[in-house]
A and B are shown apart, each in its own frame.
Chain A
Amino acid sequence: MTDTASQTNGPNLVRFLTRKQGGIKMTWADRVTYGYLLLGVFVMLLPVLWVFISSFKEPANLSEYPPTLMPVTMEKVEVEGYKTPLPLFEVVQEDGSVKVMAQIRRVGIRAQMVDPENPGAGRVTIDVKKATPVRKFHLAIENYEELLDSSGGNIWLNIYNSAFITIVATLITLVMNSMAAFALSKYQFKGSTVALIAIIATLMVPPTVILVPTYLIVSQVGLVNSLWGVILPAVATPTGVFLLRQYMLTIPDELLEAARMDHASEWQIYYRIVLPLSTPALAVVAVFSVMSRWNDFLLPLIVLNRPEVHTLQLALAGFQNENGIVWHLLLAMTTLTALPLAFAFLFLQRYITAGIASTGVK
């Protein structure tokens, strides 16, 4: 990861895309590479972009086929004598000219329309094939408003639950793992290797394999339907201990000796010297913890059964089952759920990739 800082990427890309011939000559291998990468950009970005755009479409617009590229809505107009605004259509007249008319109702392949400028002229029956709706660009923010208002404010509970689990679990993970890493990197004592191996060995136990007993333990402690039942089973992460320990090994022991000379207690050495010096590694561990907690699905799925303790992920998955799929709410919710991590990614990409590259685990 020796490339230039990420802020120069935008202009770079633009320069690359608008580059004219006569610049640097591209070999065919370069062409294939860029072709592949651009195809990749298309396949990777388009789905997410599409969900984002779709989340601003109103329900009628969402159910259209073929889908419209941008969120649009029917242009409507108030016509004298009609209670609700009427949608506007462009109607091809018999002489071939086009006239804008408002539709009153549609029956099968015929529609009753009225001239909005001259409602007194009376209704005209028109073949729907000759009418095309007049539409304008429209961001359906209503989707988000409806999502946040509806379901009795449950969504705010979901957000709170997810945020609580993410923040508390990450804090506990940082404290527990850094304490263990401190012991395993800064002291020579009998059994330290055994302890390290015991911690690392838990990597070999996939969470899906111990699903049933985890549920038993959580329910024995009385934590079913409690957020703590999701937080506690996964607070000690072996990769976190490993990464922090490797980092703390690089902190010179002389610093600790000097502090001991000054009568610092071991606890003070831990939180006043070693912890502050390990911030980069702590940041990596924190980012991974936040990511996995915010996105976690299986453990909340089995531990949290009541709607009021559901996390965002559970609520999002639950949208499917209730009354079919309510796409306009679901898409808004998908966007909301993905946004925090998308922002985090923009700022923390380097930490995340550095962490993955150095431990191979997220």
Chain B
Amino acid sequence: MVPPNFEGGDIVASEAISRTLGTVASLPARAVGPFWKWAQRRLGLKKLPWLFLTPNLLSVICFSLLPVIINIIYSVTGSDNLYLQDRRFIGSDNYSTLMDCQNYLDASSCSRDLFWRSLGNLLMFVPLQVIFMMGIALVTAVALNGKIKARGFFRGVFFFPVMLSPVVVAMTWQWILQRNGLLNGILGFFGAEKFSWLADSNWAFFWVIFVTVWAHSGFFMIILLAGLQSIPGDVYEAAKMDKASAWRVFSKITVPMLRPVLLVVFILAVIRSVQTFDEIYVLTGGGPGSATMLLVQYIYETGFAAQPRNYGLAAAASLLLGAALLIFTMIQMKISGGKK
């Protein structure tokens, strides 16, 4: 956790921004001045900080704490009513409905087969996507950390998909992958037949992983690059003196010294991978069939898209998801020695 690093040009820019904002913002700020003066006299310096914290804490309570509690209530109540007073208590029924399976290895034997299918897809998707993504991010970061010409250009190119919205990403790739698209065009140049990439389950699954990696690896690359640049150069100098091979330098110096950053990246990557929804929803809609449907889409479909809306089931599924994430993070923290 290093403070952000700002250079000359940015300071000029930020001064200009601050002057403009300062003039604009000072009017409403001055307008509420008397209220704050009065509050300061009433509360004193010991309690005044709480007034500064109030808006934020209110938001935390209303939109984080309260929802967690309501979610638990939803998951133990039934009926398709949104309002809590109209819902009746049904205990663990929602959970047992989700878990109801003849044979846990065969999703079609479950009463909620889509839940198990999306869970199965997720268990395939997360490891593959995270490994693929961290591999690309690490290789790119190491490549960019060397003595490279036009490093800023390359870094920008690898990073910019992070800026694109998931919908734009999905539309872009849909356009590339469609039957008359660029990919078939390029492959056709070498004599291949046209192919509907997103209509085949296995290929659709591959492209879903590929596209999410394409969109997000730049984000992790930046974190890893910052980590790499904090490794002191004299360690590498010493390795050079000892005539260590490039691979030995990478495996014996770079990776071990990068371990704390790699761990943070790993946790973040898993948490975000588990929550993947937007890109896939727009790219394949979870299809063909349910081949690329992941858990968050199941929650969305159960709670919002299906009729009747089954909020209880959706809440139960999302609590299971949240619990899994919590356990995963805690195990990771434990392994890393409880430091963050």
Contact = CB atoms under 8 A, between A and B. Distances in A.
A266 B40 contact: yes
Interface in A173-190: 175-177, 179-180, 182-184, 187, 189-190
Contacts of A45: 157
B318 to A, nearest CB: 5
B56 A213 contact: no
Nearest to A13: B150
B149 interface: yes
A32 B181 CA distance: 30
Contact of B304 (A1, A208, A302, A313): A302
A331 B229 CA distance: 39
Interface residues of B, number: 126
Interface stretch (A82-90, A103-111, A128-136, A336-344): A336-344
B149 A216 contact: no
Contacts of A304: none
Given A187-B45, A216-B84, A209 B318 contact: yes
Interface stretch (B96-104, B115-123, B158-166, B236-244): B158-166
A141 interface: no
A147 interface: no
B306 interface: no
Given A16-B149, A43-B214, A232-B63, A270 B172 contact: no
B296 interface: yes
B9 A65 contact: no
Interface string B327-340: 00100000000000
Contacts of B173: 47
Interface stretch (A71-79, A116-124, A151-159, A194-202): A194-202
B56 A199 contact: yes
A267 B4 contact: no
Interface string A290-308: 0100110110011000000
Contacts of A212: 70-71, 74, 299, 303, 311, 314-315, 318
B248 to A, nearest CB: 13
Interface string A17-46: 000000000000100011011001101111
B318 A280 contact: no
A204 B146 CA distance: 35
A208 B7 CA distance: 37
Contacts of A98: none
A208 B175 contact: no
A183 B82 contact: no
A125 interface: no
A226 B226 CA distance: 40
Interface residues of A, number: 126
Contact of A267 (B36, B66, B281): B36
Contact of B325 (A46, A47, A206): A206
A281 B152 contact: no
Contacts of B199: none
Given A213-B74, A271-B25, A345 B160 contact: yes
Interface in A232-277: 232-236, 241, 243, 246-247, 250, 265-268, 270-272, 275-276
A138 interface: no
B11 to A, nearest CB: 8
A250 B5 CA distance: 13
Contacts of B69: 213
B155 interface: yes
B148 interface: yes
Contacts of B170: 317
A267 B314 contact: no
Contacts of B296: 208
Contacts of B153: 6, 9-10, 12-13
Nearest to A347: B13
Interface string B120-157: 00000000000000000001100110101111111111
Interface string A332-362: 0010011001101100011111111111111
B321 A36 contact: no
Given A33-B148, A351-B10, A357-B222, A2 B229 contact: yes
A159 B134 CA distance: 35
B295 to A, nearest CB: 9
A208 B321 contact: yes
B26 to A, nearest CB: 7
Given A65-B194, A209-B322, A33 B152 contact: no
B149 A15 contact: yes
B222 A50 contact: no
B71 to A, nearest CB: 5
Contacts of B144: 37
A210 interface: yes
B33 A267 contact: yes
23 contacts: A3-B152, A3-B155, A8-B152, A9-B153, A36-B143, A47-B176, A48-B161, A50-B175, A51-B175, A66-B189, A179-B56, A182-B52, A183-B49, A204-B329, A212-B318, A214-B63, A243-B4, A279-B14, A294-B165, A327-B175, A330-B171, A358-B4, A360-B268
Interface of A: 1-6, 8-10, 12-13, 15-16, 29, 33-34, 36-37, 40-41, 43-48, 50-51, 54, 63-67, 175-177, 179-180, 182-184, 187, 189-192, 195, 198-199, 202, 204-206, 208-217, 219-220, 232-236, 241, 243, 246-247, 250, 265-268, 270-272, 275-276, 279-281, 283-284, 291, 294-295, 297-298, 301-302, 313, 316-317, 320, 325, 327, 330-331, 334, 337-338, 341-342, 344-345, 349-362
Interface of B: 1-7, 9-11, 14-15, 17-18, 21-22, 25-26, 29, 32-33, 36-37, 40, 45-50, 52-53, 55-57, 59-60, 62-71, 74, 82-84, 139-140, 143-144, 146, 148-168, 170-176, 179-182, 184-185, 188-189, 194, 214, 218-219, 222-223, 225-226, 229, 246, 264-265, 268, 271, 275, 277-278, 281-282, 296, 299-300, 303-304, 311, 314-315, 318-319, 321-322, 325-326, 329
Given A209-B322, A320-B282, A356-B223, 10 more contacts: A13-B149, A47-B182, A47-B214, A247-B3, A281-B4, A316-B171, A337-B168, A341-B163, A352-B159, A354-B5
User: What are the 10 tightest A-B residue pairs by CB atom distance, in nearest-first order?
Assistant: A267-B36, A357-B226, A295-B165, A213-B67, A213-B70, A210-B67, A183-B52, A236-B59, A180-B56, A183-B49
